[in-house]
Amino acid sequence: MSLDEKTAAAPAAEPHRRTPVPRWLLGVGPLVLIAILLGLFSLLNAPGLSKLSEGVPPKEEVAVEDIRLTPGQIAITVRNEGPDRVSIAQVNVSDYYALFTQTRETMAPLESTTLTISYNWVEGDPYEVALVTSLGGKIPADIEAAALSPERGSSFFGLMTLLGVYVGVIPVALGMLWMPFVRRAPASWVRVLLGVTVGLLKTAYGWGLRRDELRHLSLVDFSRNVKAPYFGDYGILRVRFGKPQKGSPKKQRSVLTLLDWAAEAVDDWVKRGLPRYGQPVGDLFPTDRGGLVPEKNLRARMRGFLDELGFPPGLDLHSLRRSYVTHMQTEHGYDTKFISMQVGHEHTSTTTIYTLPSPDYAARELERVLNSTLLASNSRVLTKPTTPSGKTPR
């Protein structure tokens, strides 16, 4: 075929080419198909899936959102957080079935209802309230101490706003005003401040100390342990301000160092942190004026760290002591009586309260007991004396 013939045949072949599909249609098409399938799935009420729940009892998950007390009434707002419908059939207040009304007879998933209970409560008294569902489930809504609930009017919201200013706005404003001073402060002082904080927390956990014991530590309280020379000058800690019994002076005890990093942390602070105070000091963690660190400062600093890390309320500086008792027994395997002496408990039963084995520890302990039992059993089998042939063992 000549060049002219090929050129004439090319326009005739062009109408047979497929038009390319737009790229946006390739992306939107599957989404439209998914939307259509979901719509059909919803309109047909998930055909076939209802059989999966046949024979399965309903799951009731109801959360108490609010409890308000007014003269002669208790108003409780609850929300259904489960997948099934829930109905409140009865209300029991301290073993008394009280009359009540509710804004919604049956709660679908994520719906709420408010129950108004007729009950003449007494201010200051505790009440055990149980909401009984139509299936017999009980939802506790206890009242620790009955008190009249404040009215949610303009004065209430004004008071809440004022509290927000006191708790949030004023402290933040003071902190921002203090920022220019902190920025101009020498880097050495910032490191000292951080060193004091880190040293305090490590020492509190490393020896299982209470707040008052931690505040009163001095350099002379540490000494060498001839049985553990690898801890250097920090093998034994003499606690001079232990928790006393009522009417007795402060108790003293000696705490053996068990963690090498704790001794290293104190040694680093003594060599690099304390000299920055510029004068000889006797206290292990002094303030910039040479006095003891106030307890409220310890609590506030620990609470600030916990909030910054997102830990829930309920943890405090004493939690480090509890963790020390638990970890030394469950993770490091020390005897309960020994740890009781370390932390200054009067009775060993107090120490065992903090023994909360982790799953890893429980698995290791089970493996240890099983291995020792099997080893002892095999040892008895292997060392069993053999009897000469033809003789009966006695």
- The predicted-structure confidence for 319-364, as pLDDT tens digits, reads as follows 899 899 988 988 888 888 999 999 998 888 888 777 755 566 667 7
> Is 160 within the bounds of a domain?
no
Do both 193 and 135 map to the same domain?
no
Do the Cβ atoms of 193 and 287 come closer than 8 Å? no
Beta pairing partners, 276: none
Put simply, whether the predicted model's pTM sits higher than 0.75 gets the answer no
> Is 73 within the bounds of a domain?
yes
The total of other beta-carbon atoms located within 10 Å of residue 119's CB is 18
Can you tell me the distance from the alpha carbon of 216 to that of 292, in angstroms, rounded to the nearest whole number? 7
What is the pLDDT averaged over residues 383-393? Answer: 45
Do both 132 and 251 map to the same domain?
no
Do both 105 and 233 map to the same domain?
no
- More confident: 148 or 349: 148
> DSSP secondary structure string, 115-180?
EEEE----TT--B-EEEEETTS-EEE--BSS--PPPP-SHHHHHHHHHHHIIIIIHHHHHHHHHHH
Do both 129 and 238 map to the same domain?
no
List pLDDT tens digits, range 262-313: 999 999 888 888 887 777 778 888 877 777 888 888 888 888 888 888 888 8
> Is 181 within the bounds of a domain?
no
Do both 199 and 133 map to the same domain?
no
> Is 134 within the bounds of a domain?
yes
Res 50 pLDDT > 70: no
Residue with structure tokens 């042939």?
A: 389
Res 389 pLDDT > 70: no
Q: Which of 140, 166, 196 is the last residue of a domain?
A: 140
Do both 124 and 240 map to the same domain?
no
Do both 67 and 213 map to the same domain?
no
Q: What percent of the chain has pLDDT over 70?
A: 81
* pLDDT score, position 181: 72
Q: What angle, rounded to 10 degrees, do the helices at 260-268 and 187-206 form?
A: 150
Domain count, the chain: 2
> Is 109 within the bounds of a domain?
yes
Do both 132 and 192 map to the same domain?
no
> Is 364 within the bounds of a domain?
no
- More confident: 68 or 49: 68
Residue with structure tokens 């920022």?
A: 179
Can you tell me the distance from the alpha carbon of 229 to that of 146, in angstroms, rounded to the nearest whole number? 60
Closest among 341, 344, 347 to 242, alpha carbons compared: 344
Res 8 pLDDT > 80: no
Which H or E run contains 236?
strand 236-242
Residues in the chain: 394
Q: Which of 125, 140, 155 is the last residue of a domain?
A: 140
Q: What is the mean pLDDT of the chain?
A: 81
Do both 197 and 311 map to the same domain?
yes
Res 39 pLDDT > 70: yes
Closest among 138, 118, 114, 116 to 128, alpha carbons compared: 138
Residue 118, C-beta contacts closer than 8 angstroms, at least 6 positions apart: 72, 73, 98, 99, 100
Q: Three-state SS for 234?
A: helix
Do both 111 and 259 map to the same domain?
no
For residue 345, the enclosing domain spans 188-352
Do both 132 and 276 map to the same domain?
no
Residue 82, C-beta contacts closer than 8 angstroms, at least 6 positions apart: 58, 59, 60, 61, 62, 109
* pLDDT score, position 137: 87
* pLDDT score, position 313: 80
Give the torsion sign (CA, 64, 65, 68, 72).
Answer: negative
For position 233, which CATH number holds? 1.10.443.10
What are the DSSP E strand ranges found in 53-96?
A: 62-70, 73-80, 86-93
* pLDDT score, position 90: 93
For position 120, which CATH number holds? 2.60.40
> Is 12 within the bounds of a domain?
no
Q: What percent of the chain has pLDDT over 90?
A: 28
Res 2 pLDDT > 60: no
Q: What's the token pair of residue 21?
A: 């599909």
Do both 340 and 270 map to the same domain?
yes
Res 195 pLDDT > 70: no
> Is 215 within the bounds of a domain?
yes
